[in-house]
């Protein structure tokens, strides 16, 4: 198979967003909480856990805190997250990851009008 057939480019929006978490005790619990949500796929690897979602992923701190057994928040999440793709919005009680920047802007009531 030639190189041109192995790889292709698709410039259309994927409507996907996701994070890579450390595969440790805390990352595992967060992944288990998120696994039950519709549109979320979880893939476990030896040193990381991938969470991918369609359109939007909501990490609710109260929900995760209840499952993990301590007050889990933004700083704990950033400690176990190594990468993300999508637009991330941090709020007091949750972090929301959006696939499309327009959806994130609308969520926080941000004006995306072109600057002339």
Residue 8 confidence (pLDDT) = 77
Contact 66, 30 (CB under 8 A): no
Residue 3 in domain: no
Within a domain: 20: yes
Greatest mean pLDDT among 5-14, 16-25, 105-114 lies in: 16-25
- Residue 95 is part of a domain; what is its CATH number? 3.90.56.10
In the prediction, which pLDDT does 68 show? 98
Residue 4 lies in a domain: no
- Has residue 3 got a pLDDT over 60? no
Count the domains in the chain: 1
Three-state SS at 102: helix
Query: How far apart are the C-alpha atoms of 20 and 8, rounded to whole Å?
Result: 24
In a domain, 24, yes or no: yes
Domain residue limits at 56: 16-107
**Looking at residue 1, what is its pLDDT?**
47
**15: number of CA atoms within 13 Å, CB side?**
4
Render pLDDT for 62-113 as a digit per residue (tens, 0 to 9). 999 999 999 999 999 999 999 999 999 999 999 999 999 899 999 998 887 7
Q: What is residue 71's three-state secondary structure?
A: coil
Predicted TM-score (pTM) of the model is 0.84
83's tokens: 């990468």
Is 26 within the bounds of a domain? yes
Residue 1 covered by a domain: no
């Amino acid at each position: 198979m030639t190189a041109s057939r192995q790889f292709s480019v698709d410039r259309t929006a994927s409507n996907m967003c996701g994070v890579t978490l450390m595969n440790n005790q805390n990352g595992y619990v967060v992944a288990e909480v998120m696994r039950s949500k519709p549109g979320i796929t979880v893939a476990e690897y030896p040193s990381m856990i991938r969470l991918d979602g369609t359109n939007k992923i909501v990490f609710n701190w109260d929900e995760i805190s209840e499952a993990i057994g301590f007050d889990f928040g933004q700083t704990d999440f950033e400690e176990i997250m190594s990468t993300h793709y999508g637009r991330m919005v941090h709020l007091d009680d949750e972090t929301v990851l959006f696939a499309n920047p327009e959806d994130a802007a609308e969520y926080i009531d941000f004006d995306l009008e072109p600057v002339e």
